[in-house]
Structures are given as C-alpha cells and as structure tokens.
Amino acid sequence: MKISVFIIGMLCAILSTTQSYAGGGWVHAKGKGYFKIGQWWVIADKHYIDDGSTDPNTTIGTFNTSFYGEYGLSDKWDVNLYFPFFSRSFNNEEVSLATGQVDREGRAVNSIGDMDIGIKYGLIQNKPIVLSAHLWLGLPTGKSDVDLDDNSKVPLLTGDGEFNQRVGLTASTARSFGKFNTFVSLGLEFNNRTNGFSDETRVNFELGAVINEKLILAYKLQWLNSLNNGNASIENGASIFSNNAEYVGYTYEIAYNLTDRVGLTANYSSVYSAKLILASPAYSFGVYFNL
Amino acid sequence: MNRIVNILTIFIILQGCVGTDVIDDIIEEKIEITTPIASLKVGESYSLMHRYLNNTGMEEDAEVDWFSTDQSVLEVTEDGELTALMSGQSEITVVLRENNQIMDKILIEAAEETVVLSTNSKSGTINTTSSYELTGDFEITNTDTGVRITISDNYIASSALPGLYVYLSNNPSTTTGALEIQAVSVFSGEHAYEVDADELTVDTYVYLLYFCKPFNVKVGHGEILD
C-alpha cells in the first residue's frame, strides 16, 4: 500500500471537531471515501473570560451526535459533509445549599446542529509533500433563536446563527519507519463569518503515527485567532458559539482499525490558553467506515 | 442496518441529562436593632425594633430576648419596650432565643431628652469577586420613594460579559431574595440608580451586588456601610 494512500485512510480515522483538517493535505482517490458516526461533547462549570483567566458559571453542556463523510469525486476533488443530526444543549438546575430549594430550573434544547459542507482540491499529490486547498460552508441549521432581552435564562444554543465560509491550505508529509508510519501536517485557514461575528484565522499542526497498520496515535495543535472585527453588539458570553473566542488548543487522538474498513476512534481536546470559551475539555468517540 | 441503528441509539442515549448545581448561599445569621436610639428621656418609654436575617439573608420572624446591663437605669421588657428610670447609660442587647450567639447591642443613655439617630445616607466600595473588572465607590441615600444609589466616577466594570445586572441584597452569594435594580448599561464613570420600593431605605439591604444574570455568575459586590 502506498504510504500516502494509507495515511489518508488513517488520518480520516482521527477526525476531531476541526473537520476541515481531516485527511491533512491528501485527497481520496476517485470512488473512495470515509464515513463516521460520532459523538462529541463538552460540559463546563467555568469559562475563560476575555483576559484569559477563568470564572465559574452554571454548568452548561453541549452534545452533538453527527455524521461525517468524505468522498472522492475524482483523484483531485473530495466532497465533505459534517451533519450533527442531533444536538443537545443544557444547563443544570441550581439548588440552594441552605434551603434545598431549586433557585433556577435546569433546561435543555434539542435540535440539529450547524451543518458544514465542503470541498477539497489536491493541489500537489503523489509527492513527498502534498498540498490541498479546501472550502467549507458553515450553515446555520442549529438553534440560535435566543431572546437577548430575556436575561433570566442561560442562552442555550445548538448553532451560532451565522453563515460562514472557511478557506484554507494544508500541507502534509509522511515517512515510514518499519511498522511505524509517521505523518506531519500544517494547515492555515481563514474563516469569513457573517451576522456581526468576527472573522477568524486558524493554524493547525498535527503529528501522528500509524503503528502496524492498526493503531493510530496523533497530537494536534490548533491556534484560533479572532480578528475582532465583528459587531460589538453580539453578546460575548463564553460558549462554544461565542464571538471573538480565541484559543491555543491541543487534541490527543487514538483510533483502532477493527477490520480493513471499520474502526473506532476517540479523542480528548483541551487548551493551553483561551479567551471566551468554556474552560473544560471536550471528548469524542466514533465508529468509522472506509470505503 | 440494525448495527447502525444500535450505534445511533447508544449515542443518543449518552446525551447529557440535566444535573444539579448546589449554590453555597449560606451566610451567618444576623440580628439587628433597627431603632437607632441614642438617648431616652427619663420617665419615658420607647419600643425597640429588631430584624432577624436567616442563613440565606432573608428576613424572618424569630423569638428574641432583650437584656439591659443596668435595669435600674434602662429597663427593657421581653417585647423590647424600653423605659428610662434614672439618668445614666446601659447597654441593650437583643439575643436570638434559639441561638444566644446571635445578638446585637446598642449603648443607650437615659437623659433629659430623647434622641433617635436617623441614617439618611450610607456608602461603600464595590470590588470584584471574579476575574471580571469591577471597582468603584458608591453612596446610597434615602428618597421619598426608596433610595438613590450614586456610583462614583472611579467606577469601572467589564463590558465583556453578557447580562450584567445590579441588585440590592442581604446575601452576597445569591440573587435569590435580592431586589433587582436593572441591567448595567454604564461601564465607567459616575451614574446613579433611582430605586423605588415599599419600605425601602438605606438600612434595608446590606450589599450592592453585581451578577451576570443569564449565567448566574457573581461578578462582585460592595457592602453598604454607615
């Protein structure tokens, strides 16, 4: 098996929430693909504020059950889809320690989440260093109809309510050391956001190894930077949908091929530093299928 | 197909349930003598009043006992009825009957005339108790319909969090039982709040409290002091 073909299959197995980075700089061969059903969640009782320190909050959480797919239309073009077909956002109830009475009811909303569709084009393929370009469209299919005049409730969202376009380049290379196949990727991305949200830049770095064609381990570093050019009237509350959120984060991922086509994946994501996001790790796991 | 359905079912079952956050809102119980009389004319009587704030800062009826350190000068009944018998002074104490560690004291003089000290104005300093910036001095004064809270020009508050509200409260840890004043719309400099409510005076509440209302995050408070 050519190492590049093998690596893309392995890379797809370790998707994080950064779907645009899946597969690194490689694209699928025509008729090949990768599909995954996954669960991602974060639960947090504190958040990063705008100076990078943390403060407590009512425990809130978001769960996404999603379908993710990549498919090679040709040897150069991939089409991609991320569809969180069930998204749940909740806040805990609050009970007085002194009286045991419920001071504020817990709530939850369920809906589909924000969907992403994308294309990827292999600019340089079948070389020691490959390069691809991608475009993702973030569709506001989640629930975002929060009443900003009603401050008595935690704003529960399953989407940010804005249509965004993410364009980027990803370069990757791989090298084999016996039963160890290693890979490195570096990606740059610009996210044009609408509805008053600030635009963003993102730098992604990934280092991984495929062991004995079965086990995949990877470390990802993500640097999200807000251009702070949005509308100041957008609320700056920390959530996974905040405006002007920033972070330097990392993800540990593990995947295991149960068969040639089917495998399991899990990851753990956290941050080294952040602003205006929840201050708690995110987790995911999934089942994938290689076509 | 069945395998896919089973996987989906497992994933959806794993969606988070609404849990419980326990808010530590316990504060020290407190009893206060609310009639700040300084002296009582010999031969006259005066009804002393008190209020009891429970361990959440809520006002509550409670049985109390009254004591005078010198009953020959100032006599006090179990109902708080104070009588000046002869010139001199005595310390009057009100004690919560179910917990005699909770008490308040006032030094009163038996003299030629009755003097009641009325507090028309108090002040304090707002300080952050969070990572959000919040600082500034304030003054609270009685008005015909409630109180006026004047925030000084050294006030600064972070505008980075959504739904910052200001309250008057007797418990600095929760907005339960607090009087909501309004959403904060001024984040620096001098401004004022006119708060109208029945029986609201500068003595009604102990804290000026700032909370992020939607996320129930305490941002800071200022104690209202004489």
Dihedral of the alpha carbons of A222, A227, A228, A229, in degrees to the nearest 10 = -140
Q: What is the pLDDT of residues A273-287, one digit of tens each?
A: 999 889 999 999 999
SS3 assignment for chain B: CHHHHHHHHHHHHCCCCCCEEEECCCCCCEEEECCCEEEEECCCEEECCEEEECCCCCEECCCEEEEECCCCCEEECCCCEEEECCCEEEEEEEEECCEEEEEEEEEEEEECCCEECCCCEEEEEEEECCCCCEEEEEEEEECCCEEEEEECCCCEECCCCCCEEEEEECCCCCCCCCEEEEECCCCECCEEEEEECCCCCCCCCCEEEEEECCCCEEEEEEECEC
| Residues of chain A positioned with their CB less than 8 A from the CB of B55 | 98
**Pick the residue with more confidence: B159 or A112?**
A112
Instruction: Give A148's pLDDT tier (boundaries 50, 70, 90).
Output: low
- Partner-chain contact A65 B11, CB within 8 Å: yes
What is the Cβ-side half-sphere exposure of residue A109, based on CA atoms within 13 angstroms? 17
Q: What's the CATH class of domain A8-91+108-290?
A: mainly beta
Residue tagged 């530590």 (tokens): B24
Write out the E strands in chain A.
Answer: 33-48, 54-72, 77-91, 93-96, 102-104, 107-111, 115-124, 129-139, 164-177, 180-192, 200-211, 215-226, 246-257, 262-275, 282-290
pLDDT of A151 above 90: no
Taking contacts as CB-CB distances below 8 angstroms, the residues of chain A near B19 are 59, 92-93, 106
Q: Given CB atoms, is B165 within the 8 Å cutoff of chain A?
A: yes
User: d(Cα A84, Cα A38) in Å, to the nearest integer?
Assistant: 9
pLDDT of residue A208: 94
Quick: pLDDT tens for B56-109: 999 999 999 999 999 999 999 999 999 999 999 999 999 999 999 999 999 999
Least confident of A2-11, B33-42, B87-96: A2-11
Which pLDDT value is given to residue A4?
Answer: 44
Residue type, B167: Y
Q: What is the DSSP code (8-state) at residue A87?
A: E
| Per-residue pLDDT at A6 exceeds 80 | no
- Closest residue of A to B13, CA-based? A65
Contacts of A197 (CB under 8 A, 6+ apart): A160, A162, A164, A230, A231, A234, A243
**Residue range A51-79: mean pLDDT, rounded:** 93
Distances (CA, A) of A141 to A145, A159, A164, B85, B162: 11, 7, 12, 80, 24
| Nearest CA distance, B222 vs chain A (angstrom) | 19
A155 vs B108 pLDDT, higher one: B108
Q: Are strands B99-111 and B37-41 parallel, antiparallel or unpaired?
A: parallel
Nearest CA in chain B to A67: B8
Tokens of A141: 């299919």
Q: For residue A65, how far is the Cα from the chain centroid?
A: 13
- What's the maximum distance between 2 C-alpha atoms anywhere in chain B? 97
Query: Tokens standing for A108?
Result: 């939850």
CB-CB: which of B11, B15, B20 is closest to A93? B20
Q: Tell me how far the alpha carbon of residue A135 is from its chain's centroid.
A: 15
Q: What is the pLDDT of residue A145?
A: 64
For chain A, the domains span 8-91+108-290
| Chain B neighbors of A106, CB-CB under 8 A | 18-20
pLDDT in tens, B134-181: 999 999 999 999 999 999 999 999 887 778 999 999 999 999 889 999
pLDDT at residue A9 is higher than 50: no
Kindly report, residue by residue over A248-265, the tens digit of the pLDDT. 999 999 999 999 999 999
- Per the CB < 8 A criterion, the answer to whether B44 and B83 are in contact is yes
Residue A117 has pLDDT above 80, yes or no: yes
User: What pLDDT score was predicted for residue A153?
Assistant: 76
| Confidence tier at B17 by pLDDT (50, 70, 90) | confident
- Residue B216, pLDDT score: 83
**The pLDDT value given to residue A18:** 46
Predicted confidence (pLDDT) per residue in A212-261, tens digit: 989 999 999 999 999 999 875 555 455 556 788 899 999 999 999 999 99
Average confidence score pLDDT of chain B: 92
Reply yes or no on whether the pLDDT at A133 is more than 60.
yes
Q: How many whole angstroms separate alpha carbon A247 and alpha carbon A62?
A: 19
Q: Are B123 and B154 in contact (CB under 8 A)?
A: no
Task: Name the band, by pLDDT with cuts 50, 70 and 90, for residue B13.
Answer: low
